[in-house]
Structure 1
Amino acid sequence: MKSLFKLWKTVDVADHERALVFRRNRFEKVLPPGRSRIPLFGGPVRVLTHDITQGAFDEAKAKFLVKTYGDLFADHLHSYELSDHQVGLFYRDNHLVDIWPPGSFRAIWKGGGSVRVDIVDITQDYTIDKKLLGLLGRGLAIGKIRTAAYAISYSEVPDEHVGLLTVNGKLEQLLQPGCYGYWKYNRSVTVKLLDLRLHTIEVNGQEILTKDRVSLRINLTGTYRITDPQTVSLKLNDSKAFIYRELQLHLRETVGTQTLDSLLADKDHLNIAIATGIRDKLAQYGIEAVSVGVKDIILPGDMKLILNQVVEAQKESEANLIKRREETQAMRALHNTAKMMDNNPVLLRLKELEALERVSARIDKISVYGGLDSVLNNLVNLRPGK
């Protein structure tokens, strides 16, 4: 009985397993589920067990074994080999679970579930079908399909944006808002997004000399939008940096041709001059300059003090001029009043009564002796000897 055990090896294979038998390191057969007895008198035996529910036959030399011993594996494996221009979509139980790259070989165990492989030729058409893109894009987002990140280029173009599709360094297409997917195998695929909305750019802290050699620090702001995405992509490496430099140069050029007084007197003229100069320049590169405005003109400390003194002197001179003009008008009115009273005794008497009323308003009690005529004659005496 003891020698019997030495002559035979008993192997138990589960329903979800298949066993490969190697004798003297050479493949011999595939064991189905159940108990098998392997004779040992032909040489040492090695048994490798595989779980068919995993789907793929992961033996290191799977391709060699299947091609060499195809008849022995015919009842146990499906084999697939892709060309250099084909991609395989592996479905298990009608669920996409893997993507096979071009030139790959796969062997799939039979009996581990319903399997299907769709072969896609990417020789010319590298665009992924919209229906398939929904599966691949979702699998890429949640990490369900581990090979999706290496297989596809997935892009979403939001509203008010445009996508620039570049294949092998060449601009192929402008993409409108939506979802897009492309096979990355055998080619370089990139999608660059451009924002078509209104943008603001700030050019701050520019130290510039005016025509009369006064140093100013100026802050400028501008708004722009992209109108020709293709031209921007082909001609400009960094559109925002380009716009910044153009605003900076036109600001310096315009300020350098004007004096300080002209700049301070009409800042709108400065805005118009810069906008006019930059609008045609940006239009050549597919960009619309919507508006340009100078926010701040900052004088140096000593120049600010001098300018304040000048303004103060001007305002003081204007105040003195107004004061003298009002005094002159008051004297002229007083002179006219005196002339009228000199020729009109009744008017003079009314003026005397008006003066008496103002004086009386300031006195609590008044005692009158000699009648009202005596009070008026003694209180108001406009002409000598009267």
Structure 2
Amino acid sequence: MFWIKQIVIGDGERGLLYRDRRLVRVLGAGVYRFFDPFKRLSVVVHNVTRAEYAGADGEVLMAQGGDALTAHFVLADVGTGQVGLVLKNGKLEDVLAPGTRKLYWKELVPVEVRLVSLDGSLEVEADVAARLRQLGALAKMAVVVEVPVESAGLLFIDSKLVRTLAPGNYAFWGFRKNVAAEVIELRVQSLEVSGQELLTRDKVSLRVNLAASLRVTDPIAARTKVTKFGDYVYRELQYGLRKAVSAKTLDELLGDKASLDADIFAYVRGRVTELGIEVLGVGVKDVILPGEMKDILNSVVQAEKAAQANVIRRREEANATRSLLNTARLIEESPTLMRLKELEALEKVTEKIDKLTVFGGLDGVLKQLVTLQQ
């Protein structure tokens, strides 16, 4: 009885029977008795509710092969140019990196390993990506790219532009090759150039704030022909503004800002068109003068307004004098009109006094109050 070794294997277990530390067979669920007087037998019990083989001798088992291996294990041997998709009960549960070798128990959980080649497209199939995202493992194994509406995505593999991505969600395997993506916005963008210290043609120092609107029409050209297209457009706006301001006097700038906008727009548009960028508009927001120049311009404006006011006042005085002359001529020609004027004068006088004593009745008022010498 001392020479009999009894081994019990549960329903969720499998045992590996070793003789002299070499695998003999795989034991299924049940009770086993072995005659082992010299204690040459040993059994390692494994829990097969988890399909992955957890033993330290997995590489030895895979190297030996044989019927025992194929009868009880699924061998996942992923090449260096492949990715292994591990399906348990028909559902994706794990992803094996290129060059991985792994054993899975066949006993309780049906396991299937699908190999995906990385030699062609690196894009992860939509259903695989959705399952990996559900498992929380997508970001660990793939490069995830989200391209919003009114944007374009540029896919680079090993620093080479491969394709343009339309709006949507994408995932690309991150094994073997360096995968990167960049999203270029195609909507209209605004760009401001603030606080530029400039000199006009007549050597007046001023500060100018400029605003421009632009959009990307060719994302490939905008990304590949210049390092950062936003910085490039900003510098070109600076150069165009400096060139346009230096060609005009202060009076020309203040008198016709529209021509300044047109000059800057023409310059910048010609410089960025070949980069896949369209400039939609350019406008000078503010022209800021130094304090002493403001005082001088205010004095000039005040003098101009005072002169205009003086001209208007003289013109009105001449018109009033001319009107008085015409009225005098009419009164001279019509005694009745003269008498009406006298009565108007009398009315104005009576409005300013409390009491008026009249001698001679109404006739005295009409004839003797105002006497005109012929």
How does the TM-score come out when normalised to structure 1?
0.89
What code does the residue aligned with 1:367 have?
Answer: T
Task: Determine the structure 1 residue equivalent to 2:79.
Answer: 83
1:309 is the counterpart of 2:299: yes
Q: Which amino acid aligns with 1:277?
A: Y
Does the CA contact (< 8 Å) of 1:136 and 1:145 recur in 2?
A: no
Shift in Å, 1:79: 1.1
Letter matched to residue 167 of structure 1: I
Which has the larger displacement, 15-24 or 211-220?
A: 15-24
| Paired residues of 2:74 and 2:111 also in contact (CA < 8 A) | no
Q: 1:137–1:154: 8 Å Cα contact kept in structure 2?
A: no
Query: In the alignment, which of 265, 271, 287 is matched to residue 281 of structure 1?
Result: 271
CA-CA distance at 1:274 after TM superposition:
0.6
Aligned residue identity for 1:289: V
* Contact 2:92/2:131 (8 A) holds in 1: no
Aligned equivalent of 1:168: 158
Q: Distance in 1 between matches of 2:131 and 2:26?
A: 39
Is residue 225–residue 288 contact of structure 1 (8 Å, CA) maintained in 2? yes
- Aligned residue among 102, 126, 131 for 2:122: 126
Distance in 2 between residues matched to 1:16 and 1:321, nearest whole Å: 112
Root mean square deviation, CA, Å: 2.3
Q: What secondary structure does 2:221 align onto?
A: helix
What does residue 347 of structure 1 align with? 337
Q: Distance in 2 between matches of 1:253 and 1:326?
A: 48
Alpha-carbon offset, residue 97 of structure 1: 0.5
| Structure 1 residues 294-333: aligned runs within 5 Å | 294-333=284-323
For the pair 1:220 / 2:210, whether they are aligned, the reply is: yes
* 1:67 match: 63
**1:196 match:** 186
Of 193-202 and 77-86, more deviation after overlay is shown by 77-86
Whether 1:239 and 2:235 are equivalent positions in the alignment is no
1:158-184 C-alpha deviation (Å, 9 max, x unpaired)? 221111122222212122222333333
Aligned pair 1:155/2:151, yes or no? no
Distance in 2, Cα, partners of 1:121 & 1:42? 51
Letter in 2 for 1:166: F
Q: Does 1:258 align with 2:251?
A: no
- Superposition deviation, residue 156 in structure 1: 2.7
Offset at 1:195?
Answer: 0.8
Match of 1:178 among 168, 172, 184: 168
Instruction: Give the SS at the match of 1:103.
Output: coil
Report the Cα offset of residue 290 of structure 1: 0.5
CA distance in 2, matches of 1:23, 1:307: 108
Please report how far the alpha carbon of residue 363 of structure 1 lies from its aligned counterpart in structure 2 after TM superposition.
4.3
**CA–CA distance in structure 1, aligned partners of residues 127 and 148 of structure 2:** 17
1:95 is aligned with what amino acid?
Answer: K
Query: Partner of 2:112 in structure 1?
Result: 116
Larger deviation, residues 150-159 vs 186-195: 150-159
> Which structure 1 residue ranges, 5 or more long, are not aligned?
none
- Partner residue of 1:99? 95
Q: In structure 2, how many angstroms separate the alpha carbons of the residues matched to 1:300 and 1:39?
A: 108
Instruction: Name structure 2 gaps, 5 residues minimum.
Output: none
Shift of 1:292: 0.7
CA contact (8 A) 2:201 2:248 kept: yes
State yes or no: 1:139 paired with 2:135: no
Counterpart of 2:97, as a letter, is P
Q: What's 2:32 paired with? A: 36
**TM-score, normalization: structure 2?**
0.91
Report the CA distance between 1:251 and its aligned residue.
Answer: 0.8
| Contact 1:88 1:101 survives alignment (8 Å) | yes
Cα–Cα, structure 1 residues 315 and 8, in superposed 2: closer, same or farther, change >3 Å? farther
Percent identity among equivalent residues?
39
Give 1:194 shift: 0.9
Q: Aligned match of 1:54 in 50, 53, 76?
A: 50
Counterpart amino acid of 1:254?
A
- 1:11 corresponds in structure 2 to 7
